[in-house]
Chain A
Amino acid sequence: MAKVAREMVERTGINVDELVELLISNASAELTTFYYYTILRVNLIGLEGEGIKEIAETARIEDRNHFEALVPRIYELGGKIPGNMNAFHDISACPPASLPENATDVKAILKVLVEAERCAVRGYTHICNLTAGKDHRTYDLALAILNEEVEHESWFSEFLGEGPSGHFMRRGETSPFVSKFLR
């Protein structure tokens, strides 16, 4: 634990145990989503599916990056992640997704994706609200993740026909916002 770092956050009035629990449950949501994107990627086939495969792969890698960026902050603040994967999975902040019954139904797959991203956008907005002007490091991290989650939401929303996202696919790079936490 980073003793003084935790103390600085406590002194702002933030309930650090509560904050750590939020970070852990969101880290779990990231890793379960990473798993889901992995099964999705193999099922995104055919003319329709191939068009989405690349962007799903970017979101997959970025969600894994979010998990990896969150873990050090959890430990700095004195928290820890569960000792086994089952327990970790069961505390996910957002419902762990599953492949639609008809795995070739690209629209159904996209709906699951956009729901997961929307849950994440709400969750990181909440963490930003809790930490703004108080816990600068957690805020910086949550904001970086939020920036990427908003882009994921807009990509999938565009594919669902909800309107243009105003974004282009990443060009070779991933996690333009979160990468500074991964060095």
Chain B
Amino acid sequence: MRVFTLQDLSRYNGRDGNLAYVAYRGLVYDVSGSYFFRGGRHWVRHNAGSDLSDEIDQAPHDESLLQRFPVVGSLTMVE
């Protein structure tokens, strides 16, 4: 499984033809196929290409929705 740094992840921001990846609790998900992440943005405030672990508390749903999407790697905090 590919290991992503935050900088690697930031390239997958869903904009300008880039794929949309989001990290959640150490895993990286490919959400490119989701209507809800088109253009790399989710409900105005949440951006693809970043670690959204701390943002789920604001969501009107739990993390189980991420299971609809393939895991493409893991996230390391080591630069």
Contact = CB atoms under 8 A, between A and B. Distances in A.
Interface of A: 18, 21-22, 25, 93, 95, 122-123, 125-126, 129
A21 B60 CA distance: 17
Contact of B60 (A18, A25, A95, A125): A125
Contacts, number: 20
B61 A21 contact: no
Contacts of B35: 95
Q: Is the interface of A mostly helix, strand, loop or mixed?
A: helix
B45 A18 contact: yes
A125 B61 CA distance: 10
A132 to B, nearest CB: 13
A18 B44 contact: yes
Contacts of B43: 22, 93, 123, 126
B72 to A, nearest CB: 23
Question: Among B43, B44, B61, which residue has the most Cβ atoms of chain A within 10 A?
Answer: B44
Contacts of B44: 18, 21-22, 25
Contact of B61 (A25, A95, A122): A122
Contacts of B61: 122
A123 B44 CA distance: 12
Nearest to B38: A90
A140 B45 CA distance: 23
Contacts of B45: 18
Contacts of B58: 126, 129
5 contacts: A22-B43, A25-B44, A125-B60, A126-B60, A129-B60
Nearest to A24: B44
